[in-house]
Structure 1
Amino acid sequence: MTAGSEGETGNVPARPGLRLVLAGCVPFLILVLWLASIPHDHVWRDGTVSLLKTYAALVLSFLGGARFGVVIAHETPGENLTLAATAVPVLAGWLALLIGEPGSFALLAVAFAAQGAWDSLSAHRDDLPLWYGRWRVRLTVFAVVMMVAAFLSTA
């Protein structure tokens, strides 16, 4: 797969995809800002933490699923290890839901960073479109910053 793949123009994804990606950032931003601004004894604090952890785990699972789709679409012999690695984001997200704060947000930050690095490196090897790798770097930085802010807000 190369940078000239269908569904993108130049170095950016098609407009509908870009809008969806940016819309997906909104819940992170709103929940982290709310969490950082409310007192530790606020009645909605636990619910906010739960919503943020759950949303982050779902996004992480989505990213693992996207990589699963890429791997099975190429059906490259010997890809069993890569195929198994696509389950790691799902497992990391699930584990983050089971552990307490702030450790859960640290785990999510590391998992987002690892998935983003994998996607970016894959784009530079032409396994994914180049625009995808560039956007994954930006979105990974955003997600990691949000998880670090949540970590600090719950520490």
Structure 2
Amino acid sequence: MKAGKAESMAIWLGLLGLAPFALLALSVWSPPWRSLALPALLAYSALILSFLGGVRWGRALEAGSPAQFVLAVLPSLYALGVLQAPPVAGLILLAAGFVGQWWLDVPADRMRAPAWFRRLRGWLTAGVLACHLLALGPLLPV
């Protein structure tokens, strides 16, 4: 697959991956759906955070860096722990996990990823954070 096609595919799949975040975050606003949507949002969020660790694992295979392998398993362990927290805390902690993972991957380009991937990670992280904030709205006391 040529670089342009790979980039295009990654962008489309990444953006499609935001759809469950948005749908579930909006569903949290509907009281009849909240009891289903909130646990699903937390689970999907933990799953995707773990996936980002897998991305780092793949990059670590290329670099052969033991430190990168250690960093690659942290998102899964963190997400599993967060799933034990109450829902509001879980949303906040998972959002923080996405920010932390972005910070580890993108600003210093520790994974030596292509520029388009760094931009995509920024867009997707912003989208995930927006969905977490949206889902918090009906859960916080007024």
TM-score, length basis structure 1: 0.81
Gaps of at least 5 residues in structure 2 are none
Encode CA deviations 1:127-153: one digit per residue, 9 max, x unaligned.
111111111111111111211222333
- Bigger-Rg structure (1/2): 1
Q: How many residues align?
A: 140
Whether contact under 8 Å (2:98, 2:125) holds in the other structure is yes
**Counterpart amino acid of 1:50?**
P
- Kept in 2, the 8 Å contact 1:122–1:133? The answer is no
Residue number among 31, 35, 38 corresponding to 2:28 in the alignment: 35
Q: Give the secondary structure class of the aligned counterpart of 2:28.
A: helix
- How far off is 1:103 after superposition? 0.2
Which residue, 4, 8, 12 being the options, matches 1:19? 12
Counterpart code for 1:86: A
In structure 1, what is the equivalent of residue 72 of structure 2? 86
**For the residues of structure 1 that align with 2:111 and 2:7, how far apart are their CA atoms?**
18
Aligned pair partner of 2:105 in 119, 123, 127: 119
Alignment of 1:32-71 (within 5 A): 32-36=25-29, 38-39=30-31, 42=32, 44-71=33-60
Letter of the aligned partner of 2:3 in structure 1? E
* 2:83 paired residue among 97, 119, 138: 97
Q: Does structure 1 conserve the Cα–Cα contact (< 8 Å) formed by 2:92 and 2:132?
A: yes
- 1:122 deviates by 4.3
Specify the code of the residue in structure 2 equivalent to 1:141.
A
> How far apart, in 2, do the equivalents of 1:108 and 1:137 lie?
16
What TM-score does the superposition give when structure 2 sets the normalisation length? 0.87
Specify the code of the residue in structure 1 equivalent to 2:132.
M
What are the within-5 Å matches in structure 2 for residues 135-154 of structure 1?
A: 135-154=120-139
User: Identity, % of aligned pairs?
Assistant: 28
Q: Which runs of 5+ in 1 are unaligned?
A: 1-5
- How far apart are residue 81 of structure 1 and its match? 2.6
8 Å contact kept, 2:25–2:135: yes
- For the aligned residue pairs, the C-alpha RMSD in angstroms reads 2.0
* 2:11–2:120 Cα contact (<8 Å) kept: no
